Amino acid sequence: MDTKTLQQSYERRASRRWKDRLRRWLSPPAPLVMNPREPRDFPLGRWNLYLGGAGRTVSGYVNLDLFPMAGVDVAADAHALPFRSGLFTRIECDAVLEHVRDADQAMREISRVLAPGGYAHVVTPFCHPFHAYPEDHRRFTIDGLRCLGSGCGLTPVAEGWRTGPTATMLVFALEYAKILAPGRLGRAAAHFFLGWLLFPLRYLDLVLHRSPRAGRIGNHCYVWFRKNE
């Protein structure tokens, strides 16, 4: 996706124009539910960093993204974070590492700016369609994520699946329908009708998350890391 289209799509998220409000109102609910067993209560500190939160309000965090737009406090690249070492108590990195060119370097930067004993929460897609923000380079397993962090002084303390196999099936079904549908209007209609029809199935994941096999086609996985003292 080019930068201009990306900026427009972020601006639409927060826009108060009636056309954008109507689009948001008609848009079907996301085809996924979060795993309620994913831990969220690791400590926050005076300074916390949210990577890739363009178009979002993330109170309690410094919001860093590539582009200076709504919600962003610092426009910078995750490959070279403009902060001193050990500044942050907690770092959220949700669906960003698939977009960076060098995930090892981004992870080294996360580790560098994290204080000893601080926590980083890294979430990445495993089975998920191509989505360029502004590029899309890779997918991750939990094993891969764990190794990425361990290689730069981070110890995994919790891990699992955020979104499950039903989310995977639904996002691929929607994408497939949009490929079949002709033109922009056809894609919008496929997204609208199929999205509203299928979204109730997402609740199946609340049961499937308990299955040890769910991760074989899991949608997004997470690992919580603690920075070594």
Ligand X SMILES: C[S@@+](CC[C@H](N)C(=O)[O-])C[C@H]1O[C@@H](n2cnc3c(N)ncnc32)[C@H](O)[C@@H]1O
How near is the Cβ of 68 to ligand X at its closest, in Å? 11
**Residue with smaller CB distance to ligand X, 42 or 189:** 42
Least distance in Å: CB of 177 to ligand X? 21
Q: 99 or 108, CB closer to ligand X?
A: 99
Least separation in angstroms between CB 69 and ligand X: 9
Contacts with 223 (C-beta within 8 Å, 6 or more apart), sequence order: 121, 122, 142, 145, 146, 149, 156, 158, 159
Nearer to ligand X, 99 or 202 (CB): 99
11, 23 Cβ separation under 8 angstroms: no
Min CB(210)–ligand X separation in Å: 25
Residue 123 CB contacts under 8 Å (≥ 6 apart), including other chains: 93, 94, 95, 162, 220, 221, 222
Q: To the nearest whole angstrom, how small is the minimum distance from the Cβ of residue 183 to ligand X?
A: 26
> Cβ closer to ligand X: 100 or 154?
100
Least distance (Å) from ligand X to the CB of residue 143? 22
Q: Which amino acid is at 168?
A: T
- Between 33 and 51, whose beta carbon lies closer to ligand X? 51
Q: Residue numbers of the site for ligand X (CB under 6 A)?
A: 51-54, 56, 65-66, 77-79, 94-96, 99-100, 133
Q: What is the amino acid identity at position 177?
A: A
Residue number closest to ligand X, CB atom: 52
Contact criterion met (CB below 8 Å) for 156 and 225 = yes
Least CB distance to ligand X at residue 44 (A): 17
For ligand X, the closer of residues 78 and 190 by Cβ is 78
Cβ nearer to ligand X, comparing 49 with 142: 49
